[in-house]
Amino acid sequence: MASEAARLALYNRLGEVIGEDNAGTLMEALPMHPAEQNATKDDIERVETRFEARFDRLEARIDGLHDVMRDQLRTYTVTTVGAMTVLTAVFGALLAVFR
């Protein structure tokens, strides 16, 4: 990795040869970290594959949650309708008895 002093020396020399504006543009394009730290296309593809796998697992969990919620809603609906039917029948029977 080039030190800050080495980068400054390069910038100054480039400024002499190609002008300060061009030297600034070129230095902005040069990474300030070692080349081995640059991500390659293979690195990016590996990360993408890992994210896809995680999103697939997340999607499966959401689908499972959807199934559980559907089952619970069905149970709640059946229970509520059943309870209301029984209460209506009891109320009807009480009205018939106390008329």
Q: What is the DSSP string of 10-73?
A: HHHHHHHHH-HHHHHHHHHHS-SS-GGGSPPHHHHHHHHHHHHHHHHHHHHHHHHHHHHHHHHH
* 51 & 96 share domain: yes
pTM: 0.47
Domain extent, residue 66, equals 41-99
- What is the full per-residue pLDDT of the chain (99 aa) written as tens digits? 567 888 889 999 999 999 999 999 999 888 777 767 788 899 999 999 999 999 999 999 999 999 999 999 999 999 999 999 999 999 999 999 988
> How many other CB atoms are there within 10 angstroms of residue 47's CB atom?
11
Q: Count of domains in the chain?
A: 2
Decide if 14 contacts 23 (C-beta within 8 A).
Answer: yes
* 34 & 45 share domain: no
Decide if 30 contacts 2 (C-beta within 8 A).
Answer: no
* 59 & 85 share domain: yes
* 55 & 31 share domain: no
